[in-house]
Chains A and B, each alone.
Chain A
Amino acid sequence: MSLPFLSPSRTVLLVGDEALYIYNVSFNAARLVDTVPWQADSFEETVIGLIQKECGGKPVLILNDMTDQHFKGGQRMPKVGPLDKANVLERKLQVAFPTYPIRGALAVKPPKGVAVSAADKKQGGLYLFAAVPMSEPIAKTMSAVKKSLSSVSGFFLLPIEVSDMVRALAEALAGKSRKPSRWVVFIGQHHNGALRQVITRDGQLAMTRMTPVTDTDTDHEIWAQEVHQEFKATVSYLSRFGFTPNDGVDVIVVCSPAAGSVLEKLIDIPCHYSTFTAPEAARELGINIGQQDDPRYADSLHAAWVGRKSRFILPMQAKDLAKVHKPRQVAAMAMFVMLLAGGYQGWVLFNEMQKTSAANEGIETQQRALTQATAAYEAEVAKMNALGFDVKLVQGSIKTFNDIEARRMHELVMVEKIHQALGDSLRLDTMTIEYQEPKAENNNKKKIRLPDAPAPKPEMRASIKLSFPPTIEPVVGVKEVNNLRTRLLAALPNCKVDITKNVAGLEYSDTYKGETGDAQKNTPQQFYAELEIEGTL
């Protein structure tokens, strides 16, 4: 279901036999603006004025409601390719209506649930051909439309375009309780007094009639009798199309309620009879035609239905109209595209302007931040300069000092530890402490040490020599030396301590020399020991 306010608004020019009826159709009303007789002086100027001023220059739709409409049903189209179809149809229309410039063809669909036989398929599709002669009223209408400069929605035939309205109305009336009848007769009187009957079979136009009847709202009996006569004539025509009264028919009449009641009594064939005023019928259809001056006329309902259509059943081809219709349509499309493009470009521009604004704000903020950051930086630089010395020299010298200091040998610490280990009873004759290159550097001299890498710990090698009195027992001396080694190892846990020479060799593997007796008295035996300590503190 489409939304009513999205339906198109148009100016509907209802072309009647006596006059042109101008309707302004919007989403909530179908208002008869004016009626301009064909013989009126300055017809075109009047119509143009009404289109432009009264109807606001809306797109114009021409709806032909004249008697002089020609139909040829049951036209077979040979089976041709889709590319040739339009040409063949054009040619067939030309043959069917050689002198009528306004023509159109409508493909007749098979009724719902009826399968198309293979023979029919072979023969091609069935078409309803329609044509309208170029009469003076139509020429005048087209000329006015051309000069009005309004967009043209097209040229249409009223009975064809309202056939779907009749079907919709029948379906709405049938509701869910029953199916709509196969035949539906819609009867309505127009402002020109003529009675328009639209008869549909299976939802498609089967026949239409336009006959003059009495235009009265007071004598309902006479009006009903005349309409009944026309209805009977219609039913007799329909029998040619295979209609029998027993088929059942929906009869929908747009008139005043009183006249409708009288007519209902007169109809003597079995049917589903419904009568409405035009606004009531519109409500049944779900549309709004607004307040009507005389609601018994049906043409405002037709104008409203067709004027709001977005898809038409049979757009008629009129060369004269196409000349203005196509360029104006192209211009309208171009304007629409330009509006869309303008909208898009406006949106892009708006976004870009926002970006510009954001970027400007960002720059402003960042410039303030830069000013602050620069000031802070300058302050730090000033503080540095205020120190009054070379920062690199300070840092470089401290690093250099620490690097050399880390590799320095702390020999006095070792001296102290050796003296502590000696104790009071032992006496040192000689002591040498030498700096040893760190092993890591010895092993890989070519290895490059990074500037900030910690310096390897320095190693030391110490040699100590101790002498003992000649009176000492070798066993005691050896024991003293061994104990000294143990104490040194405890005092210097990262060092290895070797006894390179002990007081005396007492094991079987050692050599032992000595003297006894007088020889010993003359040259007392000297006892001494040597130890080597190697490692880090």
Chain B
Amino acid sequence: MGELFQILGIKRIVILLVLIGINGIVGAVTYLYVMPHNDDLTRQLQTITANVTSKRKDTGKLEGEYNIIQKQKANFEDLRGAGFFSNQNRAVARQRITDIQKFSNVLSAKYDITAASIEKNPLAADSGDVVLNSPVNIKVDALDDVDFYNFVYWVENGFPGLVSVKNIKVTRITDVNETTLRAIGSGIPVTLVNGEVSFEWRTMVPAKDVTITANPPGSSPPAKPKG
């Protein structure tokens, strides 16, 4: 070793050692600290960039939805006003049929509202709601078939919720003759037309507000209000 020092000289050995040391330090700093640190930074950058993209996308989606919902809000309020979210209270239905009967000038209306069943509509399920469906049948006596059609019109448009008529039947039972004209003239109600309308009365209610009772297979389960 001493001979090597003599041959190479301390200066050369020191320079060589310094060079090796610098290489070692630079290599260690580069490969053990800077490169892993850069990997971390790159991952961090990717994560933040992804977050920014995601947030912007969500914001854009919300903006779009907000505009749509602003428009839908009016429709929703209309639905609410039209009783689409009512729980199909029979007293309300009774009152509404009475009103329509008077308004449409039909002589009488005999109605039958069947117990509601639950329709599982996937569109309503998103908000946790179900559709209540009550079949209704109304038999009407009227002086004129126009009164009956008027009655049907107001049932469709004035009944709480959504009414889907399944069938209507109108029958002229008597011709207009001297007797009937005399009766009409003296203020006695004369039934010239019989009408019958069957429809499905639908409203949307929260699923948690109704219970499903046991029901025979193949039929929709009848709904029962909670409490």
- Using CB atoms and an 8 Å cutoff, list the residues of chain A in contact with chain B: 146, 149, 323-324, 327-328, 331, 334-335, 338-339, 341-342, 345-346, 348-349, 352-353, 355-356, 359-360, 362-363, 366-367, 369-370, 373-374, 376-377, 380-381, 383-384, 387, 389-401, 403-405, 407-409, 411-412, 415, 427-435, 451
Contact across chains for B19 and A411 when beta carbons are under 8 A apart = no
Bound complex: CA of A395 vs CA of B125, how far in Å?
A: 11
Determine the interface band of chain B, counting residues with CB < 8 A from chain A.
Answer: 35 or more
A430 neighbours in B (Cβ, 8 Å): 169-172
Which residue of chain B is the closest to A362 with respect to CB atoms? B45
Summarize A's interface: helix, strand, loop or mixed: helix
Residue in contact with B165 in the complex, picked from A327, A363, A435, CB distance below 8 Å: A435
Bound complex: CA of A431 vs CA of B146, how far in Å?
A: 13
| Cβ contacts A to B, 9 pairs, < 8 Å | A335-B16, A370-B55, A384-B65, A387-B70, A389-B73, A397-B124, A400-B204, A401-B79, A431-B169
Closest-CB distance, B152 to chain A (whole angstroms): 6
Contact across chains for B204 and A397 when beta carbons are under 8 A apart = yes
B27 within 8 A of A: yes
Known: A342-B23, A409-B166, A411-B165. A356 touches B34 (CB 8 A): yes
Contact across chains for A397 and B85 when beta carbons are under 8 A apart = yes
Contact across chains for A397 and B79 when beta carbons are under 8 A apart = yes
- Using CB atoms and an 8 Å cutoff, list the residues of chain B in contact with chain A: 4, 6-9, 11-13, 15-16, 19-20, 22-23, 26-27, 29-30, 34-35, 37-38, 41-42, 44-45, 48-49, 51-52, 55-56, 58-59, 62-63, 65-66, 69-70, 72-73, 75-76, 79, 84-85, 121-129, 131, 145, 149, 152-153, 156, 162, 164-172, 202, 204
Contact across chains for A408 and B30 when beta carbons are under 8 A apart = no
Known: A353-B34, A380-B63. A359 touches B72 (CB 8 A): no
Contact across chains for B52 and A401 when beta carbons are under 8 A apart = no
Residue in contact with B59 in the complex, picked from A352, A373, A408, CB distance below 8 Å: A373
Known: A352-B30, A394-B72, A398-B76. A146 touches B7 (CB 8 A): yes
Bound complex: CA of A381 vs CA of B69, how far in Å?
A: 13
Known: A380-B59, A397-B129. A331 touches B42 (CB 8 A): no
A373 neighbours in B (Cβ, 8 Å): 51-52, 55-56, 59
Which residue of chain B is the closest to A381 with respect to CB atoms? B62
Contact across chains for A387 and B26 when beta carbons are under 8 A apart = no
Bound complex: CA of A367 vs CA of B66, how far in Å?
A: 26
Residue in contact with B162 in the complex, picked from A387, A389, A401, A431, CB distance below 8 Å: A401
